[in-house]
Structure 1
Amino acid sequence: MSGWEAGLDDEEAGAVMRTVARQLKLWREAAGLTQAELGAAIGYGEELVSSVERGRRIPRPEYLDAADEILGAGGKIAAMKGDVAEARYPKKVRDLKKLEAGAVELCAYNNSVIHGLLQTEGYARAVLSARRPPFAADQLDQQVAARMARQEIMNDTTAEALFSFVQCESTLRRPIGGKMVMRGQLERLLEVAALHNVDLQVLPLSREENSGLDGSFRLLRLEDGTTVGHVEVAHISRVISEPKEVQLLDIQYGIIRAQALSPRESMALIEKVLGET
């Protein structure tokens, strides 16, 4: 259960975990089992069962599955796995995930790394491993899992949103994670670029004009017709809702798209870089 300590300073996650803990305790007591007896039945120690029921430890999916079976919950305990998984992710990741999930269109420019929604697991791990001060091993796993979970909105069979990405060519050539990781990442970009609801463009290094030199950003057009911006620098994540600031980002993104290669030309450039890797 390493790495599954509950974030007690996170009110939203704390509320979820208190509800889950209360339900687990009620089901155990209804079955007439002590914490020690339940732990023995599902393969965990009494202390860990106690920590889960006090909301101090986040139960893993296999814990919930085992408890559901032993306590005869008929899937009601196992059904909490999704809520528990969400609670495990850091708050700013959950907030960003909700924002992305509520968008009808997402536009993003990146000039340092490949956008998080486009990253392979190996590339994401390499990017997050470069953080200073570094994440502890369990925190790194948590961050990688959270980033991969955000990509559910890109599912070609269920996604209704439109996605527009512009990547600076430098992000294709920067060998983050090594040659094999970058090969996998470039192949992933070609896969995503082929999706019907995705436009992927590359802004070449050979362009004399580049309106994205001041950094990466994204725009999210929401279902209610409003648009918000989002910027992330170092350890700061900021949502921009002030209309004038959003308008400036919108204008900037339009100019960047015009400076970039077309989606077809961009795929050709990615294939070229892949062949050189």
Structure 2
Amino acid sequence: MATDVEVVSEADEPGWEVDPDDEWGLAVIATVGRQLRLRREARGMRVPDFAKAVGYGEDLIYKIESGKRIPRPEFLDKAEQVLRADGLIVAMKEDVEKVRYPKKVRDLAKLEGQAVEIGVYVGLSVHGLLQTEEHACALFEARQPPYSQEEVERLVTARMARKAIFEKSPAVALSFVQEEASLRRRVGGTMVRRRQLEHLLEVAQLRNVTFQVMLTDTVAHPGVDGKIELLKFADGTAVGRSDGAFNGRPTSDPKELRILELRYGTIRAQALTPGESVAFIEQVLGET
């Protein structure tokens, strides 16, 4: 067994934080940690020896085994090899992969994955389903207090995973209304911004996507209070949310959904047509 492995400390390799509000995720990570500890002990390895063998700091090993950190896939691969676990540890990677994303992101992705129709109005930033990886990274890096680089990578990966919705069959009907300001905001460098605009043009050409721009000089409309989201499902049910209605909470109440649908319909009527919106993005791209 190699003894010259470069040890990665917790400071350099913090691992993924466990979401304290994610009961299922906490249970999964606790089970994974317990199995790792039992396997290590069955091999007669102390934590210092195991840490040295896999190339990670002892503090990180203790936290993973106690269910306080989510192990990365490469850590599990090394643990599988060192402990000669006959596939037991590698088999846990699938469950770990599911809980590596924050619970609220998983919940949102699950709803989007079940929807047959999605309508969104966004004012401040490009909607997550429309963002390029570089654009999303620049947004997360701008957050305050700042995320660690590990957390930025984790969140970007989760956001990109949601875009699998564009590959669903049958296709999901997607409707987006973006405020002009979100398209002109200088997120990232020039090339990041150009690629984001080019990506919007590509998405706008998809047959199952309707993309519209709300110009800044448009008169007041029902979206000035914030984001509106509407998701409809195959069984006829729906869920909606608006920053400016019902305390911002998700709702499935038919009366409240009708209000959100009325607001979203009015917004779409006041926005540029899809054709005009494509021409507008091309204009902004030409100015970049």
Structure 2 length-normalised TM: 0.81
Q: In the alignment, what sits opposite 2:9?
A: none
Mapping of 1:1-277 within 5 angstroms? 1-8=13-20, 10-29=22-41, 31=43, 33-73=45-85, 75-154=87-166, 156=167, 160-208=171-219, 210-231=221-242, 238-277=249-288
Deviation at 1:167, TM superposition (A): 1.0
Asked if the contact 2:118–2:175 (Cα under 8 Å) also holds between the matched residues in 1, the reply is: yes
* AA matched with 1:183: R
- The DSSP-based 3-state class of the residue aligned with 1:218 is strand
Q: Secondary structure at the match of 1:12?
A: helix
CA change 1:232–1:149 in 2 (3 A) is farther
Residues 228, 241 of structure 2: 8 Å contact kept: yes
Provide Cα deviations, 1:128-159, integer angstroms capped at 9, x if missing partner.
Answer: 344344434444443333323322323x3657
Number of positions where the alignment pairs a residue of Structure 1 with one of Structure 2? 274
- State the Cα distance separating 1:86 from its structure 2 match: 3.4
C-alpha change, 1:257 and 1:8, in structure 2 (3 Å) is closer
- C-alpha distance in structure 2 between counterparts of 1:32 and 1:91, whole Å: 36
**Does the residue aligned with 1:240 lie in a helix, a strand or coil?**
coil
Q: Would you identify which runs of 4 or more consecutive aligned residues in structure 1 move more than 6 Å?
A: none
Moved more, 120-129 or 135-144: 135-144
Q: Structure 1 residues 243 and 270 mapped into 2: Cα distance closer, same or farther (>3 Å)?
A: same
The answer as to whether partners of 1:153 and 1:159 remain within 8 angstroms in 2 is no
Aligned-pair CA distance for 1:186: 0.5
Asked if the contact 1:161/1:197 (under 8 Å) is kept, the reply is: yes
CA contact (8 A) 1:92 1:237 kept: no
Q: Residue 123 of structure 2 contacts residue 226 of structure 2 at CA under 8 Å; is this kept in 1?
A: yes
RMSD: 2.8
Identity rate of aligned residues, in percent? Answer: 51
**Structure 1: gaps (5+ residues):** none
Cα distance in 2 for residues equivalent to 1:35 and 1:54? 12
| TM-superposed deviation, 1:55 | 0.8
TM-score, normalising length: structure 1: 0.84
User: Secondary structure at 1:239's aligned position in 2?
Assistant: coil
Contact 2:14 2:60 in 1 (8 A): no
| Alignment partners' CA distance in 2, 1:144 and 1:12 | 22
Is contact 1:209-1:259 (8 Å) kept?
no
Paired residues of 1:119 and 1:185 also in contact (CA < 8 A) = yes
Report the Cα offset of residue 168 of structure 1. Answer: 1.8
Partner letter of residue 110 of structure 2?
K
Tell me the secondary structure at the aligned position of residue 195 of structure 1: coil
Shift of 1:115: 0.4
Q: Distance in 1 between matches of 2:88 and 2:115?
A: 31
